[in-house]
Amino acid sequence: MDYQSVLERIARDMAPQIGSGRPAEYIPALASVDPRRFGMAIADVDGKVYGVGDWQRPFSTQSITKVFTLALVLAAGDDLWERVGREPSGNPFNSLVQLEYENGIPRNPFINAGALVVTDRLQTLTGDASSELLEFLRQESGNPGLAFDPEVAESESAHGDRNAALAHFMASYGNITNPVSTLLDHYFWQCAIEMSCADLALAARFLARHGLRADGSRLLTRSEAKQINAVMLTCGTYDAAGEFAHRVGLPGKSGVGGGIVAVVPGRCTLCVWSPGLDERGNSVAGVTALDRFTTLTGLSVF
């Protein structure tokens, strides 16, 4: 398939929509990002990358990193699913309501409460969750220059009271084992990793390769890779996962930095970035671009 031509067609089709939505204003370091930015990249299973627009420009990955943290915890053989569910939440990604009804067990690993549990497990397994994640992303993307953005991390920490409340609440149920302050530090640094569309498309290839890493070694079993893709499809775009599945038909994970990663199992991975968000925290242009991709190519999981 001529992926480059498909991307160029999408970029032309997207031109009127680029700039729609608003950046994540509740994180000051993200509020000033130009919403007219747009980039998209595709990495096939052999590692060839295609791109258009701002596809090589780094941006704040935010919640997209939750996919990779989850993969590292599952790869370590951790029995994570006793501590976090696999169901859509139906509530905002930072909601406290469900935790009280469900005794401190988050609905899925991609809402903030669930991601805090996953990061807590990675911290216990490695002793340095954020650095372990960054090194993994450097290896899988082939970009040793990947780094944290200190301004974003500090901004997240200064406005992280809701995440602190989630962590303390789960700790009261014994579902957080590290000191909450340590956990929050690693969680905020994890969200502050900067990557480009090309970096993310390459780093996520193990999900299209049924668990195989870039060097050919196995990170996950085929079953574990299937599990992550399934949870991405049903839970990866906050409380708009049903709409995303309906429009795009691919496993995907979004972040409030404006990025979305999507997977075509056995074929390729995609990343699109446009900072303007809808009311649920997903990139307006990004969702539309992925919708155009599956429409033009016929590639989806359905």
Q: Which parts are annotated binding residues for substrate?
A: 63, 112, 156, 163, 187, 238, 256
Q: How far, rounded to the nearest angstrom, does the alpha carbon of residue 118 sit from its chain's CA centroid?
A: 13
pLDDT at site 98: 81
63 catalytic per annotation: yes
33 catalytic per annotation: no
Query: Which of 3, 117, 180, 187 is an active site residue?
Result: 187
Q: Which parts are annotated binding residues?
A: 63, 112, 156, 163, 187, 238, 256
> Which residues make beta-bridge pairs with 263?
269
Task: Compute the distance between CA of residue 113 and CA of residue 133 in angstroms, rounded to an integer.
Answer: 18
Query: Is the distance from CB of 228 to CB of 213 less than 8 angstroms?
Result: no
248 catalytic per annotation: no
Query: Which of 152, 256, 284, 287 is an active site residue?
Result: 256
pLDDT at site 29: 86
Domain boundaries along the sequence of the chain: 3-297
pLDDT at site 13: 95
The low-confidence residues of the chain, meaning pLDDT below 50, are none
> Does domain 3-297 fall into CATH 3.40.710.10?
yes
pLDDT at site 95: 73
256 catalytic per annotation: yes
Tell the residue number behind the tokens 């997209």, with chain if given.
Answer: 64
pLDDT at site 101: 85
Task: Compute the distance between CA of residue 45 and CA of residue 266 in angstroms, rounded to an integer.
Answer: 7
pLDDT at site 102: 87
Reference 175, options 235, 97, 120; nearest CA is: 120
pLDDT at site 27: 85
Query: Which of 3, 49, 52, 66 is an active site residue?
Result: 66
pLDDT at site 90: 73
187 catalytic per annotation: yes
pLDDT at site 53: 98
Show the 3-state SS of 7-64. HHHHHHHHCCCCCCCECCCCCHHHHCCCCCCCEEEEEECCCCEEEEECCCCCEECHHH
